[in-house]
Structure 1
């Protein structure tokens, strides 16, 4: 058993999919360590960014010997999980910000959402694309957003909501389930937004990537209070 890496601050996870390098640089400028999922490290070859670790089955990693002189390179050969999931179970942190796990192939995006659902009770993860930030959670979510911001609520399973505040279309007494009712393209009409389920159903919340800071603040506060 390989000992898990433990971090006291948010961690950036980098995959091999689409990734806005300017956003990545803004994140690393905050001092957050970066863990690359296998070939995600290849995106760093022509940059000044060095990972804190590289984790995966390493079937896509280029210039392995170079990276081994820079950081721990952890090979996990089991094929029952994706490299994204390997990073999550091999690391502990108060928040994970995952880039490069969407975009290139839709099945990879679905696999990333599957992992977020699977780890909903043990890891706090924000999945970031070039356009959106997605979180998968169980329980209530409270966040501060400007008015008029697109916010979607998508059920990962059956979930019943007791209420909401700050949304143009309230979620009061609404039951969501894939194939029946979803909550895409809602909008904020107040700065204080709350989403409160009645049960322990799991759901995703999607906001524009411009609201990344607002979402991560809410997730960090949620983790501290939980």
Structure 2
């Protein structure tokens, strides 16, 4: 069990070594001003003009130059190799919400690992911010305002059932599973509500709804 390294009463932004733009980071920090880097995410943070308050990982990818530029007091080495750096960082943060940038994009295996981490139990709720979509793990009812026609993809990582309102193709009565029925490319008819009967269902929502999703997550602690 990783110790809590960052304890915050406000949302926190995690930055990883994947695809991230200056505007991605700025948008995340506007909602979650505390910046924590995941290993080589520290390189990205400095390159984009920001100094993280903590760097967490096994330090197998962060550059020597970045390590030298940062105080030793904010470098938190987690040496175990059983989990990914994203998992290490997420387990080390206790905050009402985490926004993660630089976790999607780049290597496909890293993206799949990040989605696996997202469905594991953590103290902090988390939103993954990609170039075009947001990803959350649904464990409590989620209500968010969307526009008619917005794409809503539901991807189960284990068998799960649930109910929905505001989707063109409702999920009630369906047995969702990665081995059979998934729910990609559904569409909103307006505001949506999704309720699940257990863990394991990822929701992929349009990027423009970040503000509303943050409000919904903070109200319902939905991941």
Alignment pair present for 1:92 and 2:94: yes
Alignment of 1:185-204 (within 5 A): 185-191=185-191, 193-197=192-196, 199-204=197-202
* 2:35–2:54 CA contact under 8 A, matched in 1: yes
Runs of 4 or more consecutive aligned structure 1 residues displaced over 3 Å after TM superposition: none
- The secondary structure found in structure 2 opposite 1:204 is strand
- For the residues of structure 2 that align with 1:207 and 1:118, how far apart are their CA atoms? 20
The two structures have a TM-score, normalised by structure 1, of 0.90
Alignment pair present for 1:67 and 2:70: yes
- The secondary structure found in structure 2 opposite 1:45 is helix
* 2:15–2:45 CA contact under 8 A, matched in 1: no
Per-residue Cα deviation, 1:201-225 (whole angstroms, up to 9, x for no partner)? 42010012222222222111112x9
How far apart are 1:5 and its partner, in Å?
1.8
The two structures have a TM-score, normalised by structure 2, of 0.91
- The secondary structure found in structure 1 opposite 2:189 is coil
Q: Identify unmatched segments of 5+ residues in structure 1.
A: none
Equivalent pairs, count:
220
Partner of 2:55: 54
CA separation of 1:201 and 1:115: change in aligned 2, threshold 3 A: closer
Alignment of 1:3-22 (within 5 A): 4-22=5-23
* 2:101–2:128 CA contact under 8 A, matched in 1: yes
- For the residues of structure 2 that align with 1:164 and 1:157, how far apart are their CA atoms? 18
* 1:160–1:201 CA contact under 8 A, matched in 2: no
- For the residues of structure 1 that align with 2:4 and 2:93, how far apart are their CA atoms? 9
- The secondary structure found in structure 2 opposite 1:213 is helix
How far apart are 1:3 and its partner, in Å?
5.0
